[in-house]
């Protein structure tokens, strides 16, 4: 397949581009041309401009949209919100206009309101795809809106399908969590339900999403099957979320996110599943 990776010069963009180009023809797209050597071909474009987006996507089979801002820090919330919302709509609408049949876009676990909330609220654990959104900040709101945009565009264009991957704290491995914890503080892990995903899990999920059998819009969690904390999940829940009931069994360091739909649709398995993880953090 010929795949356009929007935001190919970013951190996750480079990881995904390197992984995809082993089996696919990759067109990297970014407003910064400094990473152009990583893809088979390169287009320098500002995807906040619809005409540039339309031109950049011509002739590809699939679009992987990783462009935009990956959090509200250090930029103002309005900038994260406006950038992500405009870019995602331009990519989705351009794909529909060009007859591209699949868009894979980076959403976030924060689409329901998590890490950047003052005090996130949860209805039950583990969190599944039916859980309601209570976003508070501009970045998280932008991710929720991206998913609504995908709902809207796929309703109108029968030939287009979209996969929104709810990524979570993309780390090379769990040992990087300690660095994040020292930089962002314990609330980063607590508000984020102690979750993360590895670069390998993300790259594998994106590649599978490019060709999975999907009609319309599918939202999927991309989170490792165990937390990054060296403590049982029920103990963590009792300490930090004592009033939240359990809707399903959770044992050991089980993730607070239900990824069963991701496994079903993509045939995906988290990269760390069944592997002992060194360097777990303690809260």
Locate 113 and state its tokens: 């309101």
Is 184 contained in some domain? no
Nearest to 202 by CA among 220, 181, 184, 179: 220
Planar angle of CA 209, 215, 221, nearest 5 degrees: 45
Residue of 61 and 73 predicted with greater confidence? 61
pLDDT value at 263 more than 90: yes
143-192 pLDDT, tens digit per residue, is 999 999 999 999 999 999 999 999 999 999 888 999 989 988 999 999 99
Is 280 contained in some domain? no
Is 282 contained in some domain? no
Q: Which domain holds residue 66?
A: 2-170+197-225+255-266
The DSSP code for 218 is E
Number of domains the chain is built from: 1
CB atoms inside a 10 Å sphere around CB 251: 8
Is 232 contained in some domain? no
CB atoms inside a 10 Å sphere around CB 36: 15
pLDDT tier, 74 (very low <50, low <70, confident <90, very high otherwise): confident
Planar angle of CA 241, 194, 125, nearest 5 degrees: 45
Strand partners, 125: 246
Is 18 contained in some domain? yes
Domain at 150, CATH number:
3.40.50.720
83-140 pLDDT, tens digit per residue, is 999 999 999 999 999 999 999 999 999 999 999 999 999 999 999 999 999 999 999 9
**Stretch 204-211: mean pLDDT:** 98
pLDDT tier, 25 (very low <50, low <70, confident <90, very high otherwise): very high
pLDDT value at 65 more than 90: yes
Is 187 contained in some domain? no
pLDDT tier, 72 (very low <50, low <70, confident <90, very high otherwise): confident
């Amino acid at each position: 397949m010929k795949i356009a990776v929007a935001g190919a010069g970013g951190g996750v963009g480079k990881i995904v581009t390197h992984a995809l180009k082993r089996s696919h023809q990759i067109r990297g797209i970014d407003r910064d041309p400094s990473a152009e050597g990583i893809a088979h071909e390169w287009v320098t474009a500002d995807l906040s401009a619809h005409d540039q987006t339309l031109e950049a996507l011509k002739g590809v089979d699939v679009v992987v949209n990783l462009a935009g801002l990956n959090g509200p820090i250090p930029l103002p919330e309005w900038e994260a919100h406006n950038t992500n919302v405009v870019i995602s709509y331009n990519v989705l609408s351009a794909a529909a206009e060009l007859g591209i049949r699949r868009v894979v876009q980076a959403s976030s676990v924060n689409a329901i309101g998590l890490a950047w909330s003052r005090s996130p609220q949860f209805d039950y654990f583990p969190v599944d795809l039916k859980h309601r959104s209570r976003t508070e900040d501009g970045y998280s709101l932008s991710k929720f809106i991206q998913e609504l945009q995908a709902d809207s565009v796929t309703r109108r264009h029968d030939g287009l399908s979209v996969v929104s991957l709810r990524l979570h704290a993309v780390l090379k491995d769990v040992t990087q969590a300690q660095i994040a914890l020292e930089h962002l503080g314990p609330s980063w892990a607590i508000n984020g339900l102690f979750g993360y995903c590895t670069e390998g899990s993300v790259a594998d999920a994106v590649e599978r999403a490019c060709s999975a059998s999907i009609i319309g819009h599918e939202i999927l969690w991309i989170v490792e099957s165990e937390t990054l904390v060296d403590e049982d999940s029920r103990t963590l829940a009792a300490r930090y979320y004592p009033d939240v009931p359990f809707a399903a069994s959770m044992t050991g360091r089980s993730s607070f996110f239900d990824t069963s739909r991701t496994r079903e649709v993509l045939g995906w398995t988290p990269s760390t599943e069944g592997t002992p993880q060194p360097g777990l953090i303690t809260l």
